[in-house]
Amino acid sequence: MELLTVSDLSNILQINKTAIIELVNTNKIPYKLINTDYGDIIHFTPSEIRRWIPSEADSLMATKEYVEKLKKEFEKKYQHELKSLKKFSDQFTDPREPKLYYLDKVQSVKLGFIYYVRYLDNGKVVPSHWCTHTNNKVLAEKFAIENRERLLSAYYERKVVKKPGVGLYSIFKNYYAENSKYLHEDALRGRVIGDRTRVTAHNAIKTYFIPYLKKEGIKDIEQIDAPLMARFQNSLLNKGIKPQTINGYCSYISKVFSNMVVSGAVKFNPCASLPSLRKTSENCEIRGCYEINKIKGVFNKRWNNELSYLLCLTIYTTGMRNSEMDRIQIRDIILINNIPFVDIPKSKTKNGVRIVPLHDFVYKKLSAYIKKNSKKKDDYLFTTAGKQPCSERYNAANTELAGFTGYTPEKLKAENITFYSGRHFWKTLMDSENLGDIEEYFMGHRVSSDVAKRYNHKDKQGKKKLLERTRKMFAILDKWIFR
C-alpha cells in the first residue's frame, strides 16, 4: 500500500502542511512514524485517512466553534471574574516553545544578505540548509514553518539508498529462472524444488502476477500487501482458474517474499496472512471415472497406438500420477522377491517417495516395449531425454480407451473423465474390494489423521506386510481387469 507524506496529504486534503502537523501533534489524525537512518518520518496510510475523514474531520471545526461560543458566553456573564483571573495570569509567563529551526544570514549581491534556514529534527541539526529567498525575517520565518515537512521529506528521500538487487520486477522475472541465484540461496537453506515445479512457477509469475502488478500501477515491493494479493486471487478466479491452482501460484510468490525477508529486502511476507481459497461446489469440478466393470478385458484387445495402450495400462493398474509416470526410468523398475515394482525415489511430498507394484501382465508388456525400443537403464520409459509427454499424448490415450468403453467425447466431458481418471478408477476399484490404507502405501498420499500419522510406522512393518498387500492388489486386478 502506498504511504503518503505530509506534502502528499496536504495536496489531497487541500489544507496547508502546518495544519496537518498540528493534527499530528494533537493525535487527531492517524499517522505512522517510519524509522530511517535519518530519523522518524511522518507518513499516512490511505485506508486510515479514508476512515478518518467522515468520522473526525467535521468534529475539528465543531470543537473550535464550541470553544468560541463558550468564550463569548464567559465574557458576557463573568466580566469581573475574568479581570481578576487576568491579573493573576500576568504574574506568570508561558514556557517558551523551542523553535525547530534557526536562520542564518548569508551575503547576497542583490539583497545585501539573505536568510537560509537550518532545521532541528529529533534534537539534531539536519546537515543541510535551504534558501528562504528573502532578507525579511518575518517572511523567512513563515517560509521556514510552512516548508519544513516538504523540505525534510525531500531531503530524507534523497538520502535513502535502496539495497542492490531488490528491484521489484527484476526479482520476480528472475527468481524461478534457470540457474537462478535466488534458488541457489534457497538450496543452501534446504529448500530445493524440481525443474518442472520451477518452470511452472516461472510461467505463472510471468503470465499472471507481473502483468497484474503493472495493471495496478505497482512500482515498489513495499506496495504489495495482503489486500492486493487477495485482489490478485479474485482476478484469477474471474479468469476461470481453479482455487487449488491459484493457491499453488500464491505459494510460489510467497517463496519469493520469504527469500526477500531473509535477505532484508522487505520486512514481511504479505502472503503469510493471505487465506487460501477453498474449494466449493461452485468452483470445484469433481473428476469422474469409469464404472469398475467398464475396463474389464480392455487391455486384452488390440489397440491402434502402442504408447496410448501402455500409458493407460500403467495408470489403470498402478494408480500412479501423470508426473510420476513422466519420470520413470528403466532402472526404476526393480524386483523384490521376484515381484516387479516401480521405485519412485523423488517426490514433492514425503509420502510420494515409495515403491509401486507392477502386475506381471503389465511388467511383461513394458519389458517387451523396452526391448523393442533398445532403451538403456538411464532412459525414460515413456519420454525422450527426460521431456514430459505432451498433453496431446494423454488426450489421445484417453480417447482410444473411451472407444473400447463406448463413451463418446460428449459423455467424457459430461462426466469429466480424463486420462488422470485412471488414478481415480484404481482407488475406487481397491476400495470396492476393501483393501485398506492403500492410498498411503501405493498412491503416495499423506496420512490425513494426525493420530494415525504418529502411531502408524509403516516402515517398521517389514517386507512381508508389503508383499501381502501387493498380492491382494494383484488379485483384485486379475478379478476386474485381466479376466
Domain ranges of the chain: 1-80, 168-263, 292-482
Residues paired with residue 41 on neighbouring β-strands, in sequence order: 34
How confident is the model at residue 457, as a pLDDT?
A: 44
Residue spans of alpha helices (H) in 100-188: 137-146, 148-159, 168-174, 181-188
How confident is the model at residue 483, as a pLDDT?
A: 66
Q: What share of the chain is helix, strand, coil (3-state, %, to 5)?
A: 55, 10, 35
Calpha distance 144→104 (Å, rounded): 12
**SS3 call for 39:** strand
* 458 residue type, one letter: K
* Residue 408: all three cell numbers together: 463418446
Task: Please give the model's pTM, rounded to 2 decimal places.
Answer: 0.49
| CATH of range 292-482; options 2.60.40, 2.60.120, 1.10.760, 1.10.443 | 1.10.443
- Using the Cα atoms of residue 220, residue 260, residue 212 and residue 32 in order, give the sign of their dihedral: negative
Calpha distance 276→250 (Å, rounded): 9
How confident is the model at residue 368, as a pLDDT?
A: 92
- Using the Cα atoms of residue 130, residue 131, residue 135 and residue 140 in order, give the sign of their dihedral: negative
How confident is the model at residue 212, as a pLDDT?
A: 92
Rg of the chain over all Cα atoms, to the nearest angstrom: 36
How confident is the model at residue 455, as a pLDDT?
A: 39
Query: Would you give per-residue pLDDT tens digits along the chain (483 residues)?
Result: 578 888 888 888 888 887 888 888 888 889 988 876 555 688 889 888 888 888 777 777 776 677 788 788 878 887 888 788 778 777 766 555 567 888 988 887 778 889 999 898 877 788 788 999 899 998 999 999 989 888 888 877 764 444 433 467 888 988 999 888 888 888 887 787 877 788 899 999 999 999 999 988 887 777 888 888 989 999 999 888 888 889 999 999 999 988 888 877 777 888 987 888 876 545 456 778 998 888 888 899 999 999 999 999 999 999 888 888 888 889 999 998 889 999 888 766 666 788 889 999 999 999 999 988 877 777 888 875 445 556 788 889 999 999 998 899 899 988 889 999 998 888 888 888 887 666 566 776 655 555 444 434 454 455 777 788 888 888 989 888 886
* Residue 69: all three cell numbers together: 461560543
How confident is the model at residue 462, as a pLDDT?
A: 56
